[in-house]
Amino acid sequence: MTETGVEKTGSAARPAWLTGTFKLGGLVLDTRSTIVVVSSTLLLVLGYYRETLPAIPGTPVDGGMLAAVLYYLLIPLFIVGVIFGEPAADYGFRTGDWRQGLKAAVVVILIAIPVLYGAAHTEAMTRYYAGAARQDPPLIIARAAIELFGWEFLFRGFLLFGLLRVLGPIAVVLQAVPFALAHLGKPEIETLSTIFGGTLFGWIAWRSRSFLYAFLVHWFILSFVTLVAQGWI
């Protein structure tokens, strides 16, 4: 602790209140990680019950995509930058160790391709991802990128790095729990796989110190499965 009452850890000086704890009903809670957990939960609930916002007329950007950007990217970034007064880089918003990140992403994608191809041909996955209307591949890929960038920052950036400094490596597994629960309503085989896939994504983010490479893997997975289910591949 410095003379100004600010603790210096990581890449920026942090307010003293943020680095401490508070008491609630006899519990002694870490301030920062409590805010991260509570706000992440509230945002996921909002994303479920208020899953759409007004679409942008004349563009392929619909209300669901805007909601994902607002709830899972912009609000967490606001909490990090304004409330915490910390750089987004401390929450994985950086290139990090790009060699390790890209290497892990490429290996996972190559291993996943045959598994995903088979899974995408199952009845449940085809029914869910084929949808009522067939979309063009560029739109499928663009939609997946917009929707998942926020998702990955919430889980593998804001939540993972927000808990990692307090809980240690178990945060890699813990962030996968709400990630799996957020998949309820999707095909059973996909939801069951997310606790393991989410942990793997968390490991990639932890290893590379960035959520970007987990995003690349998740983006490929959603795009590939949708393209296969809709008969483009």
> What contacts 66, CB < 8 A, 6 or more positions away?
52, 53, 54, 55, 56
Q: Which two tokens stand for residue 22?
A: 């508070």
Give pTM, 2 decimals. Answer: 0.88
Contact 39, 154 (CB under 8 A): no
30 φ/ψ angles, rounded to the nearest 5 degrees: -70, 130
All structural domains of the chain with their residue ranges: 6-229
User: C-alpha distances in angstroms, 176 versus 56, 106, 158?
Assistant: 32, 21, 13
pLDDT (tens digit, 9 = 90+) per residue, 72-126? 999 999 999 999 999 999 999 999 999 999 999 999 999 999 999 999 999 999 9
Cα separation of the two ends of the chain: 57
Q: 185 pLDDT exceeds 60?
A: yes
